[in-house]
Structure 1
Amino acid sequence: MNVLFVSAEMAPFAKTGGLGDVASSLPRALRAKGIDARVVIPLYGPVQARYGDDLRHLFTYQFSRRSGTADVHVHTLEQDGVPVYFLESWPFFSGGEYIYTDLNWDRERFVFFSQAAMALAWELGLGRDGGEGWFPDVLHAHDWHTGLVPFLLHEARHAPEWQDVASVLTIHNMGYQGWEAGGYLWAAGVPGRHEPNLVYLDKTDNLLGIGIAYADKLNTVSPRHAVELHDRRFGEGLEGLIRARDADFSGILNGLDMQHFDPAADPVINHCYDATNFRAGRVQNKRALQNALGLEQDDNLPVIGIVSRLVDQKGFDFAIPGLRLILAETGAQLVALGAGDPDLETHLRTLEWDFNWKARVMIGYNPALSMRIYAGADLVLVPSRYEPCGLTQLMAMRYGALPVVRETGGLADTVENYDGGPADRGTGFTFLWEEDQAVRGTLRWAIDTFRGRRAAFERMQERAMRLDWSWDKPAQQYVAMYEQALAARRK
């Protein structure tokens, strides 16, 4: 089976969140199961600048649409055995220092990318890569950026070559949809969208909505979030489409690259360890983290870690007041790394300004520091309003830091709440309400457990570290979804 991932991101080339990780790890896991999975992403300026010497120009094709004819240059390399295609075409993806820009330009860019990716599949089928021809059985689109792909495939099925090709859409974050793209679709020569539910709900110019309406199969990245997306609270105006497509919709929990994220072999942390010797290994990382950031080195002071984008979804507007109370009432230290909304950045930084002897806040994106936080913190706070899956809590547990999370989406699917006793159950601490007092109370509970029930705390750490978050099971579920999509097309 041939599967072409059409994605705006793929780690390590272009990544702003979990989408990039999935587009990197899942194709590799699929190839291990005999699926010929390949990926196409845009050639962003930063990718060209960093990886240009590794790229090989494959071929150039011309793509015509209403606004004119574009030259599309196809570059390629293999990443961990996965063939990756990069599309370069001026002015959409050619130079610059950005991945995403403002929504107006991004809608136009990604409408073009979706069309160009379809054309790439056709060119590969003609053998333009120098081979005998490779053509996808499944086009796998991701999020709003490529939500147009299922519709383009629907329109192309008048040609016999496309009739048996299936489409799959994965929703990584419903909060971003490519709204009001009608003008850009018209300018690009995209036909009208007449699917009845799409028309009834007035979403014919919503790129993610178009993908939901026209994909043969669709999923989101955790079972709990698949249920949540049926509700107005989480559906962001597209819950009606989700309900209409319920028979074709599922939740498949994201995996984690267990080899890449491995405290026993991670080169960026100070001391490697595993589930058998974490008590000695983690304390060395904790001391190193405290020392590097100028905090008091004390094994008995609980360290609360934060690694996050600072946006409304992540819940820090109500979490920061709760953190402030915790810092005032306990000896806990805070180490936070993140960037995003300027107001949230400022509010988080005030914790360091007001508690400069016990709190450190770093604004930005630093992968090495994030891993040192996971390896050295005792707790990691993830107070998200909604979380389709989330990788932060998975990485925290992998490294033995117990997550403190709001009970939603993938956080609820992956973090088992402490039982309050000897830890016969539990891999972290959970709360439900989006309130500062819920954050305060749950952190206080976690800190009291760290101090007063250390054996239970360490028992949860060991259990969390031994959990299998590999892609093996999710990849098999994706294979099953591809087979169902193909069966629906070919019956």
Structure 2
Amino acid sequence: TEIDSVPVYLIDNEKFLSYGSIYLDKSAFVKDLDEMKRFLFFSQAVIQAIPSLNFNPDIIHCHDWHTSFIPGLLSVSPQKKHPKTVLTIHNIANQGKWNAEEILSFLGLSGIEWPALTHHTPDGSLNFFEQGISMANKLTTVSPAYAGELLTPEYGFGLESIIGQRKNDLTGILNGIDTERFNPAADPSLPFKYSFKNIGEREKNRTELLKKTDLEISPHSPIFGFIGRLAIPDQKGVELMASIADEFAKRGAGVIFLGSGDEMHRKLLLDVDKMFPKNFFSFIGFDADFAQLMYAGCDFMLVPSKFEPCGLVQMMAMRYGSVPIVRKTGGLADSVQDIKCSPKGCKGTGVVFKDFNQHDLREAIDRACKLFQQKHFYQSVQQNAMSADFSWNASAQKYIELYQSLIL
């Protein structure tokens, strides 16, 4: 098929690809051999498809552990000319590890075809991410700050040393969003359209959002939203938010959670709902239209992540005028500027806090509530946020420059 005149080839296979969700476990972390085989089969199919299509790519761009074997497999393929490879690290915490003997058997390899294949974990596993990091010509990740964090023990998840050996080949390029599709002035899922020029219209979406919940809050109280994955380990800060539920309740604020995932966090959120029924509403699952209404109706969007390679929620929130509350980490640090207000107005696009703990998050909530009570300051920050450019234009140019460095 073609998308915008670009040929797109789809690979299908009944045994390995054509069943279940993309990831076989809700957490998106590997739980069984079938998932490893799925992505190994796909990686092999990509390499074998190239000569069959009479296609000679200059570069193959791989993403995360799922295609991290492609650079290595490509190095031993019989093709005369091997394309250059780029590997993008989206989330180093999810590495793809499995018993080396089973992986090598599936691939038909002896285990000495390239140097990294001989590196096994203490329990005899192969780390897929390590294979790609070792063998790709260039490495990228999804924000400049996360590129630096990957070199540290706190954020490298055991691969900081091998990434450090490749640090001169590592580039952090911030993700973007589709600003034409996600546009509050034209979003078909919104009951009321608006832009930063008529920000007052946004209030009508807030009213519609409240109608879809059982929150009982004053019109002068802020609504905080959370949209994200519920998973173990708790990257997104769900447990941290739940631990300070009293902070929202004592301020009369409303909090709306939208997310799906593991049972433990689902139960945790429902327990908070029961404890503070007037202040908390949890939508367990995912509904794209409800998510858009949250972006257009919540006064603040909570993104208190323990780590966040890039994050799109804060970008979407700013696009729709929902002021983000973020921890200073990864892409959150690169995309949200902390608020500083003076009598003349406010600079910045969101509330930024430093450490992943109750004290700092409570302080951030306090700052947000005070800002909300000063409507002229709050609307100034909204307009700053909505004016920020998170299109792909600048990032696409950086990828072009990276590709050119490999082939020119």
TM-score range, shorter chain: over 0.9
Match of 2:109 among 190, 206, 213: 190
Shift of 1:186: 2.7
Q: Which residue of 2 aligns with 1:175?
A: 93
Contact 1:319 1:435 in 2 (8 A): no
Matches within 5 A, 1:40-439: 77-94=1-18, 96-101=19-24, 102-125=31-54, 134-156=55-77, 159-162=79-82, 165-182=83-100, 183-192=102-111, 199=118, 202=121, 205-278=126-199, 280-296=200-216, 298-311=218-231, 312-322=234-244, 324-422=245-343, 423-439=345-361
- Deviation string for 1:179-217 (max 9, x for gaps)? 125222332213535665775685982111100000001
Cα distance in 1 for partners of 2:392, 2:190 equals: 24
Identical amino acids, percent of aligned pairs: 37
Secondary structure of 1:437's partner?
helix
Question: What RMSD over aligned residues (CA atoms) do the two structures have, in Å?
Answer: 1.9
Secondary structure of 2:407's partner?
helix
Secondary structure of 1:111's partner?
helix
Secondary structure of 2:8's partner?
strand
Structure 1's 434 and 198: CA in aligned 2 closer, same or farther, altered over 3 A?
A: farther
Contact 2:183 2:320 in 1 (8 A): yes
Structure 1's 88 and 201: CA in aligned 2 closer, same or farther, altered over 3 A?
A: closer
Shift of 1:142: 0.4
Cα distance in 2 for partners of 1:292, 1:175 equals: 35
- Deviation string for 1:398-418 (max 9, x for gaps)? 000000011100000001111
Structure 1's 474 and 307: CA in aligned 2 closer, same or farther, altered over 3 A?
A: same
- Deviation string for 1:323-382 (max 9, x for gaps)? x12233111111110011211111112222122223210000111111100000000001
Secondary structure of 1:310's partner?
coil
Aligned AA for 1:426? G
Cα distance in 1 for partners of 2:281, 2:262 equals: 18
Q: Which moved more, 1:328-337 or 1:258-267?
A: 328-337
Cα distance in 1 for partners of 2:304, 2:79 equals: 49
Secondary structure of 2:365's partner?
helix
How many residue pairs match? The answer is 396
Aligned AA for 2:21? Y
Shift of 1:97: 3.2
Structure 1's 197 and 160: CA in aligned 2 closer, same or farther, altered over 3 A?
A: closer
Cα distance in 2 for partners of 1:191, 1:197 equals: 13
Shift of 1:123: 1.1
Secondary structure of 1:305's partner?
strand
Structure 2 unaligned spans of 5+:
25-30
Shift of 1:437: 2.4
Q: If the length of structure 1 is used for normalisation, what is the TM-score?
A: 0.77
Cα distance in 2 for partners of 1:448, 1:150 equals: 52
Cα distance in 1 for partners of 2:276, 2:4 equals: 44
Secondary structure of 1:237's partner?
coil
Contact 1:225 1:408 in 2 (8 A): yes
Aligned AA for 1:291? K
Contact 1:290 1:297 in 2 (8 A): no
Shift of 1:433: 1.6
Aligned AA for 2:12? E
Contact 2:202 2:297 in 1 (8 A): yes
Aligned AA for 1:123? S
Shift of 1:319: 2.0
Shift of 1:104: 2.0
Cα distance in 2 for partners of 1:196, 1:119 equals: 22
Shift of 1:304: 0.3
Aligned AA for 1:140? H
Structure 1 unaligned spans of 5+:
1-76, 126-133
- Deviation string for 1:110-160 (max 9, x for gaps)? 1111001111122111xxxxxxxx32111010001000111112222x632
Contact 2:218 2:252 in 1 (8 A): no
Cα distance in 1 for partners of 2:377, 2:153 equals: 39
